Structure 1
Amino acid sequence: MNSSIFFNRTFRFAAMASVVAIGAFGASNSFAAKAASSNSSATVIVPIEISKTTDLIFGKFAPGAGGEVTVATDGARTTTGPILSVSGATPTAAKFDVIGDNDSTYGITWSGAAVLTDSGSSETMALSKISDLTAAGATTGEVSSGTLSGSGAQSIYLGGELTVGATQADGNYTGDVTATVEYN
């Protein structure tokens, strides 16, 4: 084989390999990593809080032949059956004040007493909770959510219905009802 042919062929092969290598490395630059940034932010809001400002008070009554004593969310007391109301403590609905982040929605969970128990005995009366957000005199139902005002406040009103037995023992009946609030 002629050395000049071998040299030309080798030279052409090396030149071609260089062109291919330059093309490949040059092409890899077009696939180089690209970057984008995200603006990160966070907003810390006022924690939601609830406080009781008024207790639920049914007042004094005599059982008669049994029935129900209801305190509406506006504090008005009514009875069904031959319950005999008497003077004494004025009935009131409980009031809870909620504060938090302006215009935020929140959930309400009720827990606690399903009965009121006499502290001196084991006698009980069943308690059904009644609640609303406006003290409009509701006598049934429970609210499960609310929306804070533009100033971050709202009140929840709690009434209830007691089932009084015909032979209900006299005594001071108590029980706790808890309202828990949490942002939605």
Structure 2
Amino acid sequence: MKSSAFIRKNFRRTVLASVVAIGAFGASNSFAAATSTTATGTVIVPIAIAKSADLVFGKFAPGAGGSVTVSTSGARTGSGVILSSVGSSPTAAKFDVTGDGAATYSITWSGDTELSTGAGGVGETMALARISDLTGSNATSGEVTSGTLTAGAQSIYLGGVMTVGAAQVTGDYTGSVTATVEYN
């Protein structure tokens, strides 16, 4: 008989503990609260860049050697070289950037740091230092690294300084400069 009394006593305790647990945990639902949010997102116009003018240094003779500079407005000056007014006109390169409203963006420059002709032997390259700005305001030094689109558009102007040797080989010299833009 003792074991049946023990079982009943344990059964009562188990039932009592269950009732207390149901009361305690079941009651928590009556204190719950809920709300929701609206999830939104906006897809913007991708940023884009297009070249609308090439950087052209024009024609010149090496003279004693020196440099030819084309400013961001396309104005050309020379030091130690003889500038020719015959043939191609000097121009600054122009890149047109388009994108979302008044977004800001970064600009990175890469590409050739020298122009070359032929196989790249002695006298067949000229060093190129880039000059850039956002206004085409005749800058002759510095590089721009960021911009802000106004009504979804902005232009970047690229000039440069080309170093010319006294024994520079005659010919057409070319190189490539790449402007990459990315939203901030």
Displacement of 1:86 in angstroms is 1.0
CA distance in 1, matches of 2:170, 2:8: 116
1:29 alignment partner, SS class: helix
2:95 alignment partner, SS class: strand
Displacement of 1:19 in angstroms is 4.9
Relative to the length of structure 1, the TM-score reads: 0.85
Are residue 30 (structure 1) and residue 30 (structure 2) matched?
Answer: no
CA distance in 2, matches of 1:115, 1:177: 10
Residue 128 of structure 2 corresponds to 127
Aligned amino acid, residue 22 of structure 1: V
Alpha carbons 1:48, 1:99 under 8 Å: kept: yes
Aligned-pair identity (%): 57
CA distance in 1, matches of 2:13, 2:180: 79
1:22 alignment partner, SS class: helix
- RMSD across aligned positions (CA): 2.6
Relative to the length of structure 2, the TM-score reads: 0.85
Displacement of 1:38 in angstroms is 3.3
Give CA-to-partner distance per residue, 1:91-125, whole Å, 9 cap, x none: 10000000000100111111111111114764110
Give CA-to-partner distance per residue, 1:119-173, whole Å, 9 cap, x none: 4764110000000000011111111111101x20000000000000011111000
Alpha carbons 1:56, 1:94 under 8 Å: kept: yes
2:55 alignment partner, SS class: coil
CA distance in 1, matches of 2:83, 2:14: 107
Alpha carbons 1:51, 1:98 under 8 Å: kept: yes
Residue 181 of structure 2 corresponds to 181
Give CA-to-partner distance per residue, 1:71-91, whole Å, 9 cap, x none: 00000001122x111122111
Residue 114 of structure 1 corresponds to 113
Aligned amino acid, residue 45 of structure 1: I
Displacement of 1:26 in angstroms is 1.3
Give CA-to-partner distance per residue, 1:20-69, whole Å, 9 cap, x none: 43232011023447654332111100000000000000000111000010
Gap runs ≥5 in structure 1: 1-6
Distance 1:174 1:14, change over 3 A: closer
Alpha carbons 1:62, 1:85 under 8 Å: kept: yes
Q: How many residues align?
A: 177
CA distance in 2, matches of 1:61, 1:18: 104
Aligned amino acid, residue 116 of structure 1: L
Tell which structure's C-alpha radius of gyration is larger. Answer: 1
* 1:35-184 mapped onto 2 (5 Å cutoff): 35-81=34-80, 83-88=81-86, 89-119=88-118, 122=121, 123-149=124-150, 151-184=151-184
Alpha carbons 1:66, 1:165 under 8 Å: kept: yes
